[in-house]
Amino acid sequence: MGQMLLLYRPPMKILVLGSGGREHALVWKLRESQLMKEIYCAPGNAGIAQEAECVSVDLADAASTLELATRLGADLTVVGPEAPLAAGVVDVFEKAGLAVLGPSRTAAQFESSKIFAKRFMERHGIPTARFRVGEDFEQAVRALDEFSTPVVIKADGLAAGKGVVVARTRNEAEQVLDAAMRRGALGRAGERVVIEEALSGEEVSFIVLTDGNTSIHLPPCQDHKALLDNDQGPNTGGMGAYSDDTILAESTRGEILRRIVNPTLSGMSEERIAYRGFLYFGLMMTADGPKVLEYNVRLGDPEAQALLMRLRSDLVELLSSACEGALATRHAHWSPNPAVCVVAVSRGYPAAPETGKTISGYDLAETVGGVKVFHAGTVFKDGQLLTSGGRVLGVTASGEDLPAALHRVYAAMSKIHFEGMHYRHDIGAKSLKRQAGPPPGPSSPARKQEAQEPHQRWR
Ligand code: AMP
Ligand code: GLY
């Protein structure tokens, strides 16, 4: 019956919540669908405004967001960022009977509380770093005795990417605890902390879309969090990402599903936590196998830009099915070609980004084949495109192999300019190193051989 209903789904009005590169990629992909009648984004940005009608909204205010969706007559609302989820926007929509894709406020705690997430993993035997909870400063300092250095300190709450510190020395760890727990440097988010052992290995972003019963897993991605080349400098929201099937061997992917994804989803249903939407597993591929660093309750940014470029299936159909609990009738098809997103950021990012700089060449960049420029912190003013935030543009390209995609992305990036613009030049470099030399075509035996390599190294 579900199948019949899905076949006759009438075209829909869709509202996307958010204003970053991830939301631009969502709008861009949703627009391709035959099932899309009208598309809105709130609040959106200058790039999104080229493809959807942008409407202003305060995403922290769930009631006015609901009022907006009702006024627009949205048949489906898709939530991009974590803040409205943690504020309970999904609960408010569901109570009013409006279709919305994203987890409830309770389920959003997988991201909005590190303590909640770690205790959940502990209850369900999900591999993660050994940890202790610090409820107050004295308890946190005592807990440090149980760890060698480097040691990782995580603010419990949402801290806009500033909540995690890998402390090299005991002294540094105590200073971090003092700043967060006694001097309120992170506000309420840092009142309680998780202290955990530092893991080493390569990080992988593994994302699934679930309707609460079944799930579809997306291809693997790798984010680049550090500001500067060779993973130097402070952590950011993400300076670039690529998605390529060779990031994970088939057997490693199986292990991630078996030991991490499935126990997480079945743990949720055991605990009667209804989860609909994207669930992001931030993994460290350690010598003891994959371990969870964090959950996010949404698509990653900039992972979404690379992933959505690879998606061949109808996104409206996938997201509506997830929302209706009908994902079992759906398959997602992906291009075998890798995709890469490189982010151009403003001078001063992440601490204090400059804004108001004129951006040139962004239209020229899209004349490079296979390239799409997703906007994040941009605004149109007096006929000019200006920067309005830290992450400005996410230049995204696909290619028949990673070197081809990288060539395109950097050729396009070289056409863009704004004062103080910075981007990393080594996105995807780890994969190139892993593949050791130019990768062959998708089905050649040599590529298969290489795909095994990370698996062996990570075990
Ligand atoms: P999180 O928000 O928990 O993903 O942490 C942000 C970043 O901090 C991660 O992407 C890692 O680079 C780093 N990180 C978090 N937890 C650990 C850990 N246990 N060991 C080493 N690095 C970590
Ligand atoms: N790229 C990591 C994140 O979205 O949190």
Q: Which atom of ligand 1 has the smallest separation from the CA of 198? A: 20
Atom in ligand 2 nearest the alpha carbon of residue 299: 4
Residue 303 CB–ligand 2 contact under 6 Å? yes
User: Which ligand places an atom closest to the C-alpha of 163?
Assistant: 1
Query: Alpha-carbon distance 277 to 264, whole Å?
Result: 14
The pLDDT value given to residue 447 = 38
Dmax (CA) of the chain: 63
Nearest CA to 118 among 192, 49, 63?
A: 192
- Residue 222, beta-bridge partner list: 242
Q: What is the pLDDT of residue 456?
A: 30
State the distance from the centre of ligand 2 to the C-alpha of 241, rounded, in angstroms: 10
Specify the pLDDT at position 102.
97
* Whether pLDDT at 436 is above 80: no
Tell me: the pLDDT tens digits for 385-426?
Answer: 999 999 999 999 999 999 999 999 999 999 999 999 999 999
Place of tokens 């510190």: 165
Per-residue model confidence as pLDDT tens digits over 162-215? 889 999 999 999 999 999 999 999 999 999 999 999 999 999 999 999 999 999
Ligand 2 neighbourhood includes 103 CB (under 6 angstroms): no
For residues 299 and 278, give the distance between their C-alpha atoms in angstroms, rounded to a whole number: 6
Taking the centre of ligand 2 as the mean of its atom positions, its distance from the CA of residue 303, in whole angstroms, is: 7
**Mean pLDDT confidence for 106-113:** 96
Residue 162 has what pLDDT?
80
pLDDT at 9: 79
pLDDT above 60: residue 439 = no
pLDDT tens-digit series, residues 20-45:
999 999 999 999 999 999 999 999 99
- Greater confidence (5 vs 374) lies with 374
* C-alpha 222 to ligand 2 mean position (Å): 10
Is the CB of residue 163 below 6 angstroms from any atom belonging to ligand 2? no
Q: Examine the pLDDT at 455 and tell me if it is beyond 50.
A: no
Residue having the nearest C-alpha atom to atom 5 of ligand 2: 300
Gap from CA of 151 to ligand 1 centroid (Å): 11
Can you give the pLDDT at residue 45?
98
| For residue 459, pLDDT beyond 70 | no
Locate the ligand 1 atom nearest the alpha carbon of residue 129 and give its number. 19
- List pLDDT tens digits, range 217-276: 999 999 999 999 999 998 899 999 999 999 999 999 999 999 999 999 999 999 999 999
Cβ pair 158, 112 in contact under 8 A: yes
Indicate the pLDDT class of residue 6, thresholds 50, 70 and 90: low
How confident is the model over 318-336, as a mean pLDDT?
Answer: 95
Q: Which ligand is nearest to the CA of 240?
A: 2
Query: Which residue has a Cα nearest atom 8 of ligand 1?
Result: 164
Tell me the per-residue pLDDT of 49-88, one tens digit each, with 9 for 90 and over.
999 999 999 999 999 999 999 999 999 999 999 999 999 9
Read off the pLDDT of each residue in 333-361 and give the average, rounded to a whole number. 97
Q: Is the CB of 301 under 6 A from ligand 2?
A: yes
Rounded mean pLDDT, 377-386: 96
Average pLDDT, the chain: 92
In the chain the domains, ranked by start, together with CATH numbers, are: 14-104 (3.40.50.20), 136-191 (3.30.1490.20)
> For residue 7, what pLDDT is reported?
56
pLDDT score recorded for residue 433? 84
Per cent of the chain over pLDDT 70 is: 93
Q: Is the pLDDT of residue 458 over 50?
A: no
Does the beta carbon of 212 lie inside 6 Å of ligand 2? Answer: no
Give the distance (Å) from ligand 1 centre to CA of residue 119: 17
Cβ–ligand 1 contact at 223 (below 6 Å)? no
> pLDDT-derived band of residue 359, with 50, 70 and 90 as boundaries?
very high
Q: Residue by residue, what is the 3-state secondary structure of the chain?
A: CHHHHHHCCCCEEEEEEECCHHHHHHHHHHHCCCCEEEEEEEECCCCHHHCCEECCCCCCCHHHHHHHHHHHCCCEEEECCHHHHHCCHHHHHHHCCCCEECCCCCCCHHHHCHHHHHHHHHHCCCCECCEEEECCHHHHHHHHCCCCCCEEEEECCCCCCCCEEEECCHHHHHHHHHHHHHCCCCHHHHCCEEEEECCCCEEEEEEEEECCCCEEECCCEEECCEEEHHHEEEECCCCEEEECHHHCCHHHHHHHHHHHHHHHHHHHHHCCCCCCEEEEEEEEEECCEEEEEEEECCCCCCHHHHHHHHECCCHHHHHHHHHHCCHHHCCCCECCCCEEEEEEECCCCCCCCCCCCECECHHHHCCCCCEEEEECCEEEECCEEEECCCEEEEEEEECCCHHHHHHHHHHHHCCCECCCCECCCCCCHHHHHHHCCCCCCCCCHHHHHHHHHHHHHHC
Percentage of the chain with pLDDT > 90? 89
Ligand 1 centroid, distance to 20 Cα (angstroms)? 22
